[in-house]
Every structure is written in structure tokens, then in C-alpha cells.
């Protein structure tokens, strides 16, 4: 599917005079079951996160506070998506190399993930990721 398999997902938002409330229900708003939640925070200026791909993991990346860019790369094409709202997440399908850059001060990035942490699901080397996407060992 490549980067065309990734898309922005607008999450429900309940607004009233007390502020906004957003929720995510597995199987309803996102196309995977949630087994893990992690978040990035206290991110120094100019830090770059990500820089890896996943073999089978599905994720939803949400800017809970502040903003940042997600660079998606399927080995053929690259696309940059700007995330800046807690009610809009980026669904990232398997076999996508991603880099998270341009964090604003105080930005918080929350990730909903389809599996528990498993280092064997990672491609940490870009050339190996590209070769695997082309069916090379
Ligand atoms: P890393 O993959 O470098 O984070 P990022 O995707 O933000 O670049 O992970 C940093 C460390 O945290 C690494 O040792 C793996 C560990 N880690 C866990 O133990 N559990 C997790 O759910 C995640 C995402 C990372």
C-alpha cells in the first residue's frame, strides 16, 4: 500500500464552554486494536525522533500539544504531514519509514500502537528497510 495507506483521521470532538474532549475507540475510529500507548515529551529543540520502519505495526500518531512534522517514506516516495491538533491523528500502516521532526517547544506526541513493544518488528537501517519493501532479503 505504501504511503497511500497512511491517512489523517479526524477524531470526535465534544466541545462546550469547559473546553474540548476527544476520544478514540478501537475498531470504530482507527483500523486496528490498541495494545500499547506511548508518548514523547520534553523534546529538545532540533531533536529528531523515529528514524525507523515497522514490519507489522499499525500506529496512530497524535500531536497532543504543540506541533511537529512526520516524514513518511515507503522506499519509493516521501511525504511530509504536519500534525498540530489533538483531534486529528495520522494513521501509519506497516512498512513505512517515519521521521518526526520540527517539534515546537512543549510539544507532546502520543502514539497508539497495535502491538506491544517488540524490537524484532523494527527496521532500524534504511537500506535494509528499502530492500525488504522490494522483496529482497
Ligand atoms: P526509539 O525507537 O528510539 O524511539 P522513537 O521512536 O521515538 O525514535 O525508542 C527509544 C527507546 O525506548 C528504545 O530503547 C526502545 C524503547 N522503547 C520501549 O521500551 N518501549 C516502547 O514502546 C518504545 C516506543 C520504545
Give whole-number Cα distances, 17 to 12, 24, 57, in Å.
Answer: 17, 21, 38
Q: pTM for this one?
A: 0.97
Measured distance CA(76)–CA(23) in Å, rounded: 34
119 CA from centroid of ligand 1 (Å)? 9
Q: Is 29 a catalytic residue?
A: no
Instruction: Please tell me if the CB atom of residue 41 comes closer than 6 angstroms to any atom of ligand 1.
Output: no
Question: Phi, psi at residue 120, to the nearest 5°?
Answer: -75, -10
pLDDT over threshold 80, residue 112: yes
Give whole-number Cα distances, 45 to 39, 70, 83, in Å.
Answer: 17, 16, 17
99 CA from centroid of ligand 1 (Å)? 13
Report, as an integer, the average pLDDT of 59-82.
98
39 CA from centroid of ligand 1 (Å)? 10
pLDDT over threshold 90, residue 134: no
16 CA from centroid of ligand 1 (Å)? 36
Report, as an integer, the average pLDDT of 113-119.
98
Instruction: Please tell me if the CB atom of residue 40 comes closer than 6 angstroms to any atom of ligand 1.
Output: yes
Among protein residues, the one whose CA lies closest to atom 20 of ligand 1? 117
Measured distance CA(96)–CA(116) in Å, rounded: 18
Rg (CA), the chain: 15
Q: Where are the beta strands (DSSP E) in 43-131?
A: 49-54, 59-65, 68-73, 78-83, 88-92, 97-101, 108-113, 122-123
pLDDT over threshold 70, residue 114: yes
How many other CB atoms are found less than 10 A from the CB of residue 2?
A: 16
Q: Which of 23, 62, 70, 57 is nearest to 41 (CA)?
A: 62
For 99, the grid coordinates are 521521521
pLDDT over threshold 90, residue 85: yes
pLDDT digits (tens, 9 = 90+) for 36-65: 999 999 999 999 999 999 999 999 999 999
Q: Which of 29, 52, 54, 58 is catalytic?
A: 52
Instruction: Please tell me if the CB atom of residue 50 comes closer than 6 angstroms to any atom of ligand 1.
Output: yes
Amino acid at each position: 500500500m505504501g504511503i497511500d495507506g497512511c491517512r489523517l483521521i479526524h477524531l470526535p470532538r465534544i466541545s462546550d464552554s469547559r473546553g474540548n474532549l476527544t476520544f478514540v475507540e478501537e475498531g470504530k475510529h482507527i483500523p486496528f486494536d490498541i495494545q500499547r500507548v506511548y508518548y514523547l515529551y520534553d523534546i529538545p529543540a532540533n531533536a529528531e525522533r523515529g528514524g525507523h520502519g515497522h514490519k507489522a505495526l499499525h500506529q496512530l500518531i497524535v500531536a497532543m500539544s504543540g506541533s511537529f512534522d512526520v516524514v513518511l517514506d515507503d522506499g519509493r516516495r516521501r511525504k511530509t504531514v504536519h500534525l498540530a491538533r489533538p483531534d486529528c491523528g495520522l494513521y501509519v500502516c506497516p512498512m513505512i519509514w517515519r521521521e518526526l521532526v520540527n517539534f515546537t517547544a512543549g510539544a507532546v506526541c502520543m502514539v497508539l500502537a497495535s502491538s506491544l513493544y517488540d524490537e524484532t518488528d523494527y527496521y532500524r537501517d534504511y537500506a535494509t528497510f528499502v530492500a525488504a519493501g522490494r522483496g529482497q532479503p
